[in-house]
């Protein structure tokens, strides 16, 4: 099972690489070999990388070989995109999302909780977006489901951790209300794209503000080394979710605001959360404790600066700045991979202390 997890993570890393290169191609940079795939940058990143990452994490905790069918199907969808079998890709993606929903639902049956219900809803939102993709809707329509998937999946995990803090009835009701609004935004978008975008914006703003106020990052940010780094990344991620919601609420999700809102969620919110969690998750997958290094701050600061630059460029119309922001995204992600792998190598050379 550990071998399967490593294969899934390796496939996810390859998908991330392709996703970054196709993103640069979409911004106008000449990237050999990937230009034909640039149109599919969205599903490659949202389904092929993030979907696979979440499904692999869930499969590891589920501890059943069949659970890995979900990330395998997600990677299969990406492979179909890259090989030109475009009609099959969304159906594999639907299977992956439904498999993820089943995994989380089984966990809920064993230990019922609010967070597991929210996680199931997130997986079903991923399936919703993939169904729209299969029905030949534009990626911009499907992306709303992918946004809700990412937001609810992460919010469920963060809500679970707040059990270590005092949770009032008001905080629980507010959390459920913002989650419900984000879910409601999906069918609303089928009726009115603008109304759905506004509902999604309010829900995202509320959920981001909830995380800023109630997340355990408020405590970990006061600690040292990796705990502080993780806390800062978590706070920054929640702030980007608020920004994305504000864009959707006030400007809608049509070009150029669509690009700004989308990358505030997937880069600012999503990858900041990945930066906060990846060393621990990777360490658990390979069986080592990854040491913290101050070099980690470089890719975190560069990521947030580049996201801010991209959003500004989108909203005021600065195409050159937008293109260079894309280069900074790529450098930040490359630096993240290099620094993490370097720390892994250091951890493997270091003998375990007893």
254 vs 329, higher pLDDT: 329
How far is the C-alpha of 200 from the C-alpha of 310, rounded, in Å? 21
Which pLDDT belongs to residue 287? Answer: 65
Q: How many residues comprise the chain?
A: 354
Which pLDDT belongs to residue 6? Answer: 64
Of the listed ranges 87-91, 135-139, 192-196, 289-293, the one predicted with least confidence = 289-293
Which pLDDT belongs to residue 136? Answer: 95
Mean pLDDT of 54-67: 81
Q: Say how far residue 278 (Cα) sits from the centre of its chain.
A: 12
Which pLDDT belongs to residue 333? Answer: 94
Which pLDDT belongs to residue 326? Answer: 96
Q: Give percent of the chain above pLDDT 90.
A: 64
**122 contacts 156 by C-beta, under 8 angstroms:** yes
- What secondary structure, in 3-state letters, does the chain show? CHHHHHHHHHHHHHHHHHHHHHHHHHCCCCCCCCHHHHHHHHHHHHHHHHHHHHHHHHHHHHCCHHHHHHHHHHHHHHHHHHHCCCCCHHHHHHHHHHHHHHHHHHHHHHCCCHHHHHHHHHHHHHHHHHHHHHCCCCHHHHHHHHHHHHHHHHHHHHHHHHHHCCCCHHHHHHHHHHHHHHHHHHHHHHHCHHHHHHHHHHHHHHHHHHHHHHCCHHHHCCCCHHHHHHHHHHHHHHHHHHHHHHHHHHHCCCCCHHHHHHHHHHHHHHHHHHHHHHHHHHHHHHCCCCCCCCCHHHHHHHHHHHHHHHHHHHHHCCHHHHHHHHHHHHHHHHHHHHHHHHHHHHHHHCCCCC
**Paired tokens of 60:** 């590891």
Of the pLDDT bands very low, low, confident and very high (cuts 50, 70, 90), residue 340 is confident
Which pLDDT belongs to residue 165? Answer: 72
Mean pLDDT of 98-125: 91
For 9-34, what is each residue's pLDDT tens digit? 677 788 999 999 999 999 999 888 78
Q: Give percent of the chain above pLDDT 70.
A: 93
Which pLDDT belongs to residue 351? Answer: 45
225 vs 310, higher pLDDT: 310
Of the pLDDT bands very low, low, confident and very high (cuts 50, 70, 90), residue 291 is confident
197 vs 64, higher pLDDT: 197
**Which uninterrupted H or E stretch holds 292?**
none
Which pLDDT belongs to residue 345? Answer: 73
**65 contacts 84 by C-beta, under 8 angstroms:** no
Mean pLDDT of 283-288: 64
**Paired tokens of 178:** 């913002």
**139 contacts 94 by C-beta, under 8 angstroms:** no
The answer on pLDDT for 309 being more than 70 is: yes
How far is the C-alpha of 106 from the C-alpha of 332, rounded, in Å? 37
Which pLDDT belongs to residue 173? Answer: 94
How far is the C-alpha of 59 from the C-alpha of 209, rounded, in Å? 30
Of the listed ranges 51-65, 133-147, 261-275, 318-332, the one predicted with least confidence = 51-65
Distances (CA, A) of 51 to 56, 138, 164, 199: 8, 19, 28, 24
The answer on pLDDT for 249 being more than 60 is: yes
Q: Say how far residue 250 (Cα) sits from the centre of its chain.
A: 23
How far is the C-alpha of 131 from the C-alpha of 106, rounded, in Å? 23
For 168-223, what is each residue's pLDDT tens digit? 888 899 999 999 999 999 999 999 999 999 999 999 999 999 999 988 777 777 77
How far is the C-alpha of 101 from the C-alpha of 125, rounded, in Å? 10
The answer on pLDDT for 286 being more than 70 is: no
How far is the C-alpha of 34 from the C-alpha of 45, rounded, in Å? 14
Residue of 223, 106, 210 lying closest to 162 (CA atoms): 210
**Paired tokens of 56:** 């692999």
């Amino acid at each position: 099972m550990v071998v399967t997890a490593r294969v899934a993570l390796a496939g996810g890393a390859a998908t991330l690489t392709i996703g970054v290169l196709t993103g640069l191609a979409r911004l106008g940079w000449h990237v050999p070999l990937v230009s034909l795939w640039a149109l599919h940058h969205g599903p490659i990143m949202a389904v092929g990388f993030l979907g696979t990452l979440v499904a692999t994490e869930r499969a590891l905790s589920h501890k059943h070989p069949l659970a890995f069918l979900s990330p395998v199907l997600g990677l299969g969808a990406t492979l179909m995109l890259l090989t030109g079998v475009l009609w099959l890709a969304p159906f594999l993606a639907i299977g992956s999302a439904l498999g993820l929903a089943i995994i989380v639902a089984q966990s809920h049956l064993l230990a019922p909780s609010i967070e597991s219900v929210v996680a199931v809803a997130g997986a079903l939102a991923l399936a919703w977006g993939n169904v729209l993709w299969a029905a030949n809707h534009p990626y911009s329509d499907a992306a709303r489901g992918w946004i809700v998937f990412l937001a609810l999946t992460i919010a469920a995990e963060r809500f679970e951790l707040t059990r270590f803090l005092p949770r009032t009835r008001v905080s629980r009701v507010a959390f459920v209300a913002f989650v419900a609004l984000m879910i409601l935004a999906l069918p609303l978008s089928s009726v009115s794209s603008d109304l759905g975008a506004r509902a999604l914006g309010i829900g995202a703003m509320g959920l981001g503000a909830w995380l800023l106020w109630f997340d355990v990052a408020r405590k970990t940010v006061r600690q040292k080394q990796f705990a502080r780094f993780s806390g800062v990344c978590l706070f920054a991620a929640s702030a980007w979710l608020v920004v994305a919601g504000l864009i959707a609420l006030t400007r809608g999700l049509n070009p150029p605001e669509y690009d700004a809102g989308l990358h505030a969620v997937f880069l600012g919110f999503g990858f900041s959360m990945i930066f906060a969690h990846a060393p621990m998750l990777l360490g658990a997958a390979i069986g080592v404790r990854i040491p913290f290094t101050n070099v980690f701050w470089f890719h975190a600061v560069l990521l947030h600066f580049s996201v801010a630059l991209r959003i500004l460029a989108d909203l005021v119309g600065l195409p050159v700045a937008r293109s260079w922001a894309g280069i900074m995204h790529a450098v930040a992600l490359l630096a993240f991979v290099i620094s993490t792998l370097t720390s892994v190598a250091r951890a493997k050379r270091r003998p375990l202390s007893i």
